Structure 1
Amino acid sequence: MTELTPQRQAERDEVLAKARAAKRVAPLLATLPTPHKDELLVAAADQIEARAGEILAANARDLEAGRESGMDEALLDRLALSEDRVRGIAGGLRQVAGLKDPVGEIVRGGMGPQGMTMKQVRVPLGVMGMVYEARPNVTVDAFGLALKSGNVALLRGSKSARNSNEQLVAVLQDAAEAQRLPREIVQLLPCDTHDSVQDLITARGLVDVVIPRGSARLINAVISGATVPTLETGTGNCHFYIDATAELDSAIEMLLNGKTRRVSVCNATETALVDSALSDDSILRIVQALQDAGVRVHGNVDKLSALGAQDIVDAGEADWAEEYLSMDIALAIVDGVDGAIEHIRTYSSGHTEGIAARDAYVLQQFANHVDSAAVMLNASTAFTDGEQYGMGAEIGISTQKLHARGPMGLPELTSTKWILEGTGQVRP
């Protein structure tokens, strides 16, 4: 075994010490009454707003460092906080406080054949590790959802958001302490090297679940390297198909909303699919609407130029699978809904797919045969969001099929246990 440098050993020791502390306080949080959780969530929201100046000053240091290092605009947008975003973060905690506590909910049960009462109840997962990039709002979202579902939050944010995350966690810990709860219910792990991620995701016995949230590279690294169970969030190569039966103005509005509302989020539309049965003028209108909104269109230059389109970026194979997170979109002309479904099957990341159509059969075909976590019928892909689903702040969008799929809210952050109560029964 390779001997660790003193710096590396200290980093590993810090991760494991914080994981042990999280494990110690997990039983307390698992049985914390709902009113106490809600009081802390509201108090933390109040403190975030009251200390917004400190939070924004810390964020400004991160943004300055990001610009100096050449961070691209999409990542800078994810990293940036503003007074409105800080208020939104605080509002998310208050919203979670108003949601139903899943802990203790009876999922199913009844009287067993031997006269025993049986019930399956929701219980916390325990120590919840979170690995994420750039977005400091995830720090607070993870804390809020972990707390309400009875879990301890062990957070490994990115180096690019170090100052923002440290300030936010300090505020959250101060709020916990003021509510007579241990500061260790939320902790921030070191981020100097990528090795601290490996320390977290292999801390089996101390950490009960790890959730990666960020780029495909980060998610794949966590999934492939973890010995701790993982809840996989996915990248968003989201498609929007415009059928020949669609009302074109409405379809274009939905497409632009999905693409341009906020380009740096995983529910942004990254590929437009256009029915070949649409007129040349209609296809050209779609392309020009995107370009007029400042979107660079990647596609088949020969096909689109023949329709009169200009300034098309020639699309290669990689474009169809790309999560741009920028003012770019891939656009393909496909043969009807079957062609759209086939394209999505080939290139989708399984996040969200949308369709604009008026034909009920076309809509049903799309809903039945597209296998993604969310399918939007005559609606923008931007609606794949825990808050839009009534969940409050989400921990991420799961594109896997086991345990949780789609926006992961409070119930998805619990497991279950069976409680059987008898009167002295023994099994024959």
Structure 2
Amino acid sequence: MKHAPLSALLICMSGLALAAPTSDEALERMRSMKTTGQSLDMKTVPQDGEIADAIRNNLERIKLPDGFKIELYAVVPDARHMAVGPSSGVVFVGTRKTDLWAVTDRTKNRTADEVKRFAPAISFTQPGPCFSKDGFLFVAEHNRLLVFPAAEFFFEGPDVAADIVVPTGELIPTDEESYNHGARVCAVGPDNKLTVSLGQPHNVPPKDKAELYKQHGIGGIVRMERDGSKREVYATGIRNSVGITYNPTTQELWFTDNQVDGMGDDIPPGEINHAPKAGMQFGMPWYGGGQVRTTEYAEEAPPEGLTFPVVETVAHAADMGLMFYTGKMFPEKYRGGLFSAQRGSWNRTEPVGARVMFTPFAADGSAPSGETVPFAEGWLDEETGEYYGRIVDVAQLKDGSLLVSDDTAGAIYRISYDGDSN
């Protein structure tokens, strides 16, 4: 009987030893505080060269109020929702693909030095990050919810402390998984509970889905303990919210919602909504945005007690991420106000959006004190209709400057103020 040469056996065994674990296997190993065998030479994104130069050139188009300036903070492919680490200031950036990025400004010169793939052994599905005040990074995916304790400490290496909050296939029923409206966003509220928005996959949800969607919070916002227990449907009647935040003054929830497509250029309006308590219903499917009735439910009487938006925005601008400004860098008029992102229209003969909006708020944080107006704009060429970027989210750095994500250019911008802040 012939035996394989020892060298061949060693090569075979070496190959088995070096076989990379699957994403699920890697997650389980990290849950047990074990290594995954990933290389320490992690994937990074170059921060110089032609792409960075082109993005900087495009920023010359952007219009801002006097005293403000905008600069390239980081080249981040497919950059969407951002979560700023409460301890380190490292910015974790989600995408609509499989990557979650860690963006680091090591020199504190207000420009990123490194953009690196976070937890490279895990293949995410449209990750949307958010932080708790005590430094736990939660990642809401299309149909899973993960948590990374001490992410700001472990992100330097490929293996990170990890756990599962909601297992794969249990955030929504698997039969309701869709390529449409599948991106999730999250926030940890002042009650220390985890809040997650769940867009519904239709333009207007069909009537035979009503009970199922109400039960699971699809087309709504759900709330749960940080370990995934005690899940409840917090709000319903929402088409697709891709921006939720808590007002630090009132401790109450605000969110954007995207309106129904196919009804014309100017209707229905986009929405900024206020949800101070659980159980509120925000109009879908009877209303497609604001108080514009949907064609599909035009003959059906809406139930009583619906809540309409506090702010109606221009139709089809695609209102996305939002945040209340708590810094001191910007002038007094901006403090306590709401910054929000409009990604830009597709369902419009005359394009609109691709800008950062600002809504001033009363000192007590209870309601807007003025109209919503453009703050940073110019990514849309109004003459040609060409987009030079599409704006997704806004976040605040510790110095009070504003970060803005652009998933089309693949970048994060930083807006700062160097005028009189009084």
Output the TM-score relative to the length of structure 2. 0.29
User: Higher strand proportion, which one?
Assistant: 2
User: Higher helix proportion, which one?
Assistant: 1
Output the TM-score relative to the length of structure 1. 0.28
